[in-house]
Amino acid sequence: MVYSPNEERYEAMIYNRVGRSGLKLPAISLGLWHNFGGVNSFENGREMIRKAFDLGITHFDLANNYGPPPGSAEEMFGQVLAKDLKPFRDELVISSKAGYLMWPGPYGDWGSRKYLIASLDQSLKRMGLEYVDIFYSHRPDPETPLEETMMALDQIVRSGKALYVGISNYPADQTAEAIKILKELGTPLLIHQPRYSLLDRWIENGLQDVLEQNGVGSIAFTPLAQGLLTSKYLNGIPEDSRAASPSGFLKESAITPEVLRKIRALNQMAAARGQSLAQFALAWVLRGGRVTSALIGASRASQIEENAAALKNLEFSEEELNRIERILKTDDPES
């Protein structure tokens, strides 16, 4: 059956301008970091991508190494694009990245011009695209001069292989320098993709100020702290969770009694607002407009629908914000 997207898909979604650029992103974007690889169900991934687009989520975020195996998430997305979304390409913002290990040898990792350009060529082939909308340097390279990495991003835009460029995981000082170099080259930095959640607030110590002062947008990844800020861990660690998997990024050791007490207290606040904990956490990340978009992951379509519903209530009272701070700063928020 030919896919026909929801005709009202743009009615409920919020679209935020990215810094001082002309581009807008949906307040909720879908990341294909987990559950879209070659080891996962193609039909489940396809259903999630279609559900996201039906909800007005126009931005799909990938990277060269997403899978497993590496590259398979881009291949999977390329298949869905060809089967379902090709007629709607100009309604989509598709991003990819390079910066982590992708192939063996000295040219398949970090931030050299050779690696970034070769990686993007491979990504475009896997997805069946002529260009991506945003291409990121996935992490700073301690050995490659920042000028080389930024010059590669500039060349990528000038070659027509990407419309905009971004960086991810860069600290405030390197971000400021990257902004300066790209401005001089004539290819402004569009966006930064950092970790950010109620439980991980490092960007508040300078990075957010750098981005705002320079008109650069931000898209927060892991806004739900790898699932910690959902109902999944309220009663302990489920057997099928990321924390229970030895290969997962969320470690069981991170889920301490103190952390559990905090997320339970936050869950009580969410319930009082008529939100799930996940909706509450996403609304908090998007509060005040300092973050352009929250980048969610999902394992089933219903999670995307639940997360998108966070946009129904993004306002926090001063009392609520103060209470959140007390919960996060005390060892026993339930006392």
Is the Cα dihedral 48, 51, 55, 58 positive or negative?
positive
Cα dist. 168→54, 112, 178, 234 in Å?
28, 15, 11, 30
What token pair was written down for 43? 């039909």
3-state class of 323 per DSSP? helix
- % of the chain at pLDDT higher than 70: 94
- Domain map (residue ranges) of the chain: 15-252+277-312
Record the pTM.
0.94
Report pLDDT digits (tens) over 285-301. 999 999 999 999 999 99
Summarize the confidence of residues 87-92 as an average pLDDT. 98
Share of the chain above pLDDT 90, in %: 90
Report the DSSP pairing between strands 162-168 and 93-98.
Answer: unpaired
CB 191 within 8 A of CB 164: yes
How high is the mean pLDDT of the chain?
95
Rounded mean pLDDT, 241-249: 57
Structural fold of domain 15-252+277-312:
TIM Barrel (3.20.20)
What is the distance between the terminal CA atoms of the chain, rounded to a whole angstrom?
Answer: 56
CA atoms within 13 A on the CB side of 108: 10
| Candidate from 30-39, 53-62, 251-260, 269-278 with smallest mean pLDDT | 251-260
Q: Where are the beta strands (DSSP E) in the chain?
A: 15-17, 24-26, 28-31, 59-61, 93-98, 132-137, 162-168, 189-193, 217-221, 293-296
Q: Measured between alpha carbons, how far is 275 from 284 in angstroms, rounded to an integer?
A: 12
